Amino acid sequence: MNPNVGAHVSIAGGVDNAIDNQLEVGGTCGQIFTHSPQVWQDPNIGTEEAELFRTGTADRLDGPWVIHTSYLVNLCTPKADLREKSRESMQRELEAAAALDIPFVNVHLGAHTGAGVEAGLENAASLLDELDVPDGVQILIESDAGSGTKLGGQFEHLATVLESADQPLDVCLDTAHTFAAGYDLSTAAAVDETIAEFDDVVGLDHLRCIHLNDSKHDHGTNKDEHAHIGEGYIGEAGMKRIVTHPDLRDLPFVLETPTEDGRSYAWNIDRVREFRRE
């Protein structure tokens, strides 16, 4: 079976343009920002373009789509004003997902900025419980590279939030982040061991999406810099096992690989399909 693989694509000119952008690189699923991730801004999606997006996706792609929240969102913050901005931003993204028939909204836990790990995770769980999640939409907590006071690098962080929140939550595992956080993925055996640990700590039933990225830095460095598939420190052996692992192979793979060296998403998507054929 061919992998369900796609990329994070632009919605410039209208969210419905994401469909053509995805097809252009050969993707069958994908991810979008509803606005610039560097600013506080509500999604501005018109009724007509939302309808074009919904019908175009149903007719032309396998799906699913994922909305990635703003980089400014910080669920773990102890600061009341940032917490409220993060909550409001998350709520608007959830409403946009419902309007677009997008099943997943992906978010990083953020940083505790000195409050401590336990307090930061408690802040995240309680904020998520304040959200009104529309029917048909699921929040995904993304694994993190774990630099500084950022949380989500350890599987235990993800498990704690999922267990503490009353809100049903699932996980998006980013391969580059997981590797940078210290979980080896560079060999078939290492992938098997890491996925077994994830299952033991978090549970594979909570894993709904993979951000498939190689890493420009070795595991345990906490450096978040993505590389082309099979061209980084995870390498070919690790990437082949990830996309063929029996517990992962049927999940949607969403690429956030770089555009450099004359290669972009299309090259990386072809590489994933090549690894599945071998």
pLDDT in tens, 85-113: 999 999 999 999 999 999 999 999 999 99
Q: Count other Cβ atoms within 10 Å, centred on residue 112.
A: 24
- Examine the pLDDT at 174 and tell me if it is beyond 90: yes
Cis check: omega of the bond before 64, within 30 degrees of 0: yes
Mean pLDDT of 176-198: 98
- Examine the pLDDT at 15 and tell me if it is beyond 80: yes
Mark residue 152 as left, alpha or beta (left: phi above 0; alpha: psi -120 to 50; beta: remaining). Answer: left
Sign of the dihedral defined by the CA atoms of residues 67, 39, 221, 202, in that order: negative
Q: Count other Cβ atoms within 10 Å, centred on residue 208.
A: 18
- pLDDT of the residue at 203: 98
The residues that bridge with 86 in the sheet, in sequence order, are none
Q: d(Cα 185, Cα 150) in Å, to the nearest integer? A: 21
Q: d(Cα 93, Cα 69) in Å, to the nearest integer? A: 7
Q: d(Cα 184, Cα 242) in Å, to the nearest integer? A: 12
Mean pLDDT of 229-252: 98
Q: Domain range spanning residue 26? A: 5-277
- pLDDT of the residue at 1: 74
- Examine the pLDDT at 177 and tell me if it is beyond 80: yes
- Examine the pLDDT at 160 and tell me if it is beyond 80: yes
The residues that bridge with 173 in the sheet, in sequence order, are 210
How many structural domains is the chain composed of? 1
Question: What CATH number is attached to the domain comprising 81?
Answer: 3.20.20.150
Give 80's pLDDT tier (boundaries 50, 70, 90): very high
Express each pLDDT in 21-76 by its tens digit: 999 999 999 999 999 999 999 998 999 999 999 999 999 999 999 999 999 999 99
Report CA 147 to chain centroid distance, whole Å.
Answer: 17
* Non-local CB neighbours of 103 within 8 Å, separated by 6+ positions: 63, 64, 65, 97, 136, 137, 138
Express each pLDDT in 117-156 by its tens digit: 999 999 999 999 999 999 999 999 999 999 999 999 999 9
What is the bridge-based pairing of β-strands 226-227 and 214-215?
antiparallel
- pLDDT of the residue at 24: 98
Give 13's pLDDT tier (boundaries 50, 70, 90): very high
- Examine the pLDDT at 217 and tell me if it is beyond 80: yes
Both tokens of residue 33? 């920002």
Range 115-137 burial, b when 16+ CB lie within 10 A, else e: beeeebbbbbbebbeebebeeeb
- pLDDT of the residue at 114: 96
- pLDDT of the residue at 278: 76
